[in-house]
Each structure stands twice: as structure tokens, then as C-alpha cells.
Amino acid sequence: MNAGELHKLASVLRQIAAAATADPGERPQAASTVAIVEDVAAHPDSCIGDIAERTGLAQSLVSITVARLKDRGIFTAAPDPGDRRRTVVTVRPKAATAFGQRGSRSITAALAQALPDAAPEQLRAIETALAQLAEQLLPASSRRPGRA
């Protein structure tokens, strides 16, 4: 595998993850939106500039996305008490709970949808391989409970 193939694989995996976490009839979220939500969840009370720096996204995109997610009740945003010119962002507890529930969904149906011609045993093998890869690459704190 080369870096280009890895980027393509990451894109396919993002699409499968987005399909698995979307509710029926809901459009999957853009990768940039997911990156911002994940960053704010990992770094509560972050300012827009710090989010942009950590995600590698343009500050204007982060600012627009944060405002949209605040309007949807996903984020709280308030002036930084230490520097009133900056805005700090946090995920609302109710949204964090919803994200946790969506994140714990099985990928089986989304995987089957992404690979409609795959046999059931192929899908099981792919899902097993992905679980093994996750065990190797993801920190234990980001994996579901009960997994090594």
C-alpha cells in the first residue's frame, strides 16, 4: 500500500462511518464538521484559532461551522474570560451523549451498503480486519469498552 491508496482508503472508511452514524433520511456530516466536533469534544473550552490549528482547517470554516453547530444546539460558545476577544467552544452534554450513542452503532449495515456485491463472509472478514486494525492503531481510550 502506498500513501495515495491510504488516502483513498481513509476516504472510503469516512464514508462508511458517516453512513453508520447518520439517522435514517439524514445527510451524513461533512468530514470537516466531524473533525471540528471531534476536536472540541477532545478539547473543551477551545478557542476558534486553536481548533483551526489542530484540525488543519481554515479559521473561517471553523468559525462558520461552530456558529452553525451552536445554532443547532450542539455547541456552546462564549467569550473567553481571559481574553474577551476570543470565543471558547464546548460540546453540550446532551449532544455529547447523542454522539456517544451514534458512535457505538454497528457498522455492519453501512459496510454492506458500501459493498453491495460482497458476500456475507467477506463482510464479516472485513469487519474483523477493521476491528483488528483499530486495536493496533487506536489508543485504548478511544475504543469501545470490553475491547483490548
| Mean pLDDT score across all residues of the chain | 90
User: CATH number of the domain that 58 lies in?
Assistant: 1.10.10.10
Domain extent for 18:
3-114
| Residue 146 confidence (pLDDT) above 50 | no
For 87, the enclosing helix (H) or strand (E) is: strand 83-91
State the total domains in the chain: 1
Q: What is the DSSP letter of 81?
A: T
**Is residue 31 included in any domain, yes or no?**
yes
| pTM assigned to the model | 0.75
pLDDT tens track for 31-90: 899 899 999 999 999 999 999 999 999 999 999 999 999 999 999 999 988 888 888 999
**Is residue 148 included in any domain, yes or no?**
no
* Those residues with Cβ within 8 angstroms of residue 124's Cβ, 6 or more apart along the chain or in another chain: none
Q: Which three cell numbers stand for residue 2?
A: 502506498
**Is residue 21 included in any domain, yes or no?**
yes
**Is residue 92 included in any domain, yes or no?**
yes
How big is the chain, counted in residues? Answer: 148
Whether the CB-CB separation of 122 and 115 falls below 8 Å is answered with: yes
Distance in angstroms (rounded) separating the CA atoms of residues 70 and 75: 4
